[in-house]
Structure 1
């Protein structure tokens, strides 16, 4: 059986999304949160039912309110079925349809269609992720055997359930290390009763003495409790004072500051000084700037030779000044277009180098009809190739079966058809014996049932002669060979169609796999060709404009000949600036002289104001003023802080702290109080423990009972123990017989699974471990380098997960005739290193020829092209 399509109506983040799958390896590639785990849970939910609403995290209900559910199209025995499941009671409403015959089927037939695989087996074996790969640490021969019995023995589900029920019944009666089972509790009670009986005569001699000790201890406990309460209050008060000591020390330090004068050093005085200093600085800055400007005007009085040349032809040069901005933009545009043309040429050259023919011609692009025809031919070719590979595999299997069916094997015993009858008869006898009166009759009936079942399973031989299959195998081989010949003709026709498309479009020199990629490149090349022609036209226009301007400039000013456009534009701007500066220079010189005299007078006035401010406060400079001003502000801040600390401590706490000379004295009193409190607490704990002991002793003395009652209870208990032991023995023997019988029907597959898993594990670990051994408790592996056997818990996590993957792959391959289910791997290889992950991909691709594998991963290496591997991509 394999899954053909997945359609998600509304499931998690997906809405109306369909995925098509192949029979072999399907790689669904996507980053984190792209929906890989959602798809895995979707497959399980559609096939086996939605989780209940008690587990909302596993239901993946859509948040947009769309219809919850989906459908899966699956193929089994060359018949296509459609399974649809939407929200509803008991795992959702299911509809089943046979698409081959276009007939609806009862929903209950889905369980039969998937049998013998159920939700638990599918989750444990066929749905693989990182968390479930870790179950190899709990793997044992018993666990794998139960999986085999579930799949390999017809009707084993019922008997496994019966055996499990019997085991549970037996465990409720007795477990070697248990405490709650009935027989364990009876044994414990038996031991207790015997001890009570031995002490029954010694109880009353000490009872009155214990009562007196109890009254004295209670009086002492009350006294200690009152004293401990008072001591705790004293300790808490001293501890609080100790915690406030650092704040108290800050309060003391803030009270030692010296007073500072305040007249003339207020905030308003500081603001006034800043204003006077700003006026002085502004006057000095203005005077210095005017003097620099005067020197600059005097230095630029002489004119350059180019300006003198301009004075002879101003009527020719002045129009050029108006074009400076436009010509600057034109030059920049010319440079940009030239760079664009070069970039386009490089991109076209790269495409031509990759896709052009030997004579330099580019292939022609596909039309829409040609694209559709080519895609259809490729799809048909892939399907035909897969069908031929499948038919070849079927033919090989038929030939092997034909060779194996030759009449050289043993004939079947006539009693073989009655094998199941013997087994059923033995079970009926065994179950009936459980209802006989008396333990002896039950044991005799159980032994008789085991003997009858053993004869039916092990004595009767069930083999048939192979010659009965030869005629049917011969007809199947001929039919398969005819289908292979027809498929080869179809493949040849499709290859010829594809070659004709390549010849007509000039793609003969490229591999077929690159034709679609080449179409994108060919379209890009044609677009770049048209774009380059447009750039050529614009470049020619910009170049002509720049050339005309440079000709006009060099004709009027011959000194500029041979210079670049940038140099010409720069010198023309300098001429224009010099022209404008000379117009205004004469009037500006006169104005500068008057402003300089005004600035000098303002500087003197500001200096006098600052000196007067400092002299009235009897300080030499502004630095002294700011030092005094800051000291006054600090004194005010300390006063405010000291008052805030006093408010924080409180008047009572502050007065109590002042009563200690230093912190050491306070610490000594805290330590003394704590020691006294601990001593009182220890004494109280001792008295409390003594009271509890006395209460237990008194309770024990008053509940032991008399000797006569204890002896009767002991006799009744021993009778109950004998009956419980008989029930436990019957349940345990019956369970063991059922498991032994089922193991005989399916145990031959276990060695095959272990052998196949050894081969797979060697491939996954690159032959570092070459052999597996399945013990009754766990798995172990043999290291090839030195032959040492290692248990699973001695392996690294990644190596252990590779072992689990090998076991599950081997189980799926060996059990495929009975349970041909797809294998779903959800990011199960994250703990593999790069080399072993590649080995896993190669193994999964190879196994894709035998069973369907759906690999959901974020590793891009898994999406590398390979025969038999289909890649689907998810996006967040």
Structure 2
């Protein structure tokens, strides 16, 4: 990949500025604050995306323009592409040869296998990053080399670090807070307590049983509470879904009417369209008719009729309905008169019962009727004669005394038999008569009757009152029906309000008003028959109106027949059925969409509730049950804690069995934690060893190349770089070993540069990406700086190198392909 051209719309101090680059070594020269670091940040942002607005400092927002970003032309495999990032707009990538848009994933493919962090670690650095080597340990430097040299190892290293941190949380050799350290301390204390508690055992058993029972109760209550919470959540979800379910129920069609066939609907639409066209033609003919001259004598009423012939024709078709409604009204009025006469006759025959019709008497009448019915039932079901043992014993004694030869004893038997028969007869005579002992005086007075009535007379009075009530109800019903019919007739007559000057109608005189309407049509018919016209146009117009009217009526009759063929009352019912069928079709489509939002289980659950109030009540009941269960669980938990506290005190006092159990539990816990600690340590060690193995396969070649570069940079003073027990060391010509801390700052930077260039030379073939260096050689002396520039020239044969500097010597001494000046 080579950067060919940069166009900056707005980034930092750059506004509408263009830079053209070529292959090889590019020198970008500029003094301090001329924009070198800004240009480097722009290139990084174009390749990997600009920082978000949460990192304003790193975004380099321009102060002189509202535009942000720009474009960059990239040459890949001989083809030029334009990468554009402007403001918050999505980034685009275009092939400048074909002008075809390319997916942004193509840019990721060019940069692979490097992300932004790995690119910065390998292909770009500045003097500050080189200077950081003086505070970088050999292990850290070696780790950086391994991270760059082993792509994709970062997640594995993070995993190893997490395993070690987790292991340290379990155990440290000299730690006190880690869990395993504390467990070991507790185990030692427990061992001491066990040794001192061997003599105490029986006192623990009862408390242990209580704890076991409480634990079982707690587990059961927790399960019940969890089930209740789940049901509560289910009900809450149902409450949220109720609006959808309610709308679905409303959209579901009532399975009643037989659906109309498509042929019927098509015929209806054709007839209504024909009817509409005929009505428009009829209206035009009537308009022409109103413009025809008539004689002066007929201008008034006939002229008014012709001006409103459309309305009158419609109303004339409704005249039979009006006359029929009037007839029904007159019939109902006659029924009111008849019912009133019947009621008056009954009240005149029994004026004393009028007061009983008061609503205040109804409760007393009902109570009296109930008592009379109960008394009648008791009198019909009470036995008139009941035989018992006295009758049988007395009869047997009397017969035995007469028949058997018992001497003087027979008189005793006869006297006993007569006594028993007399006793039985006296009780039978003492049975009260239900008809003569009913206490109804208070009830009769409360109902408005005379207090001395017997039960039969009271029942007759109640029947008369019931007859009066029925007559009164008949009058009320007839009056209501007559009033409703009068309202219907008046509603039909109100359609003639526009002709009040010619047809005055009055709500108080319905019969006269209907007669006036009928006479008006008769008058118009006579005038049309006798009127002398001024010319043949009127006759033609009149015939045309008549013919069109007949055609409209014929179409109307066909529509009526079509309605009746579908068992519908009239045309309006047919139109309503077609509209309803269309609405049902639309509702079915909407219902199908809503059906997808609710599962069958949800619908079945929601169907159990009549309305949202019922569902809310179920939620409230469930919530109350949840509160009760939580209270029970809290009480059980509290009791369990109390029992465990008592057990703990007994353990502290030295109860042997419990201490032994705790000791065994601690042994198990120690074994588990120890295994966890060993597993985590072994896992981290295995990851480190695997990464070290992978790195060691690449490091020899990298260190060989770095040694060559480092020897050139130091003019052969150091001729070898090696690893000594995971520590980076260098060797001079006398084969003396030097650690990093023993090198000067500049030499450390030269070592880091040699390592970077060696990594690029060995690993850079995986992606031919531009190399950017921002004032990286400030601490180099002139000789070593010259050698560094020569190394960059060599690297530039494989990678485009952008060298940002403020050194004037670089303008003349570097083997640069091009020099760019920043001002």
TM-score by shorter chain over 0.5: no
Larger Rg: 2
TM-score, length basis structure 1: 0.38
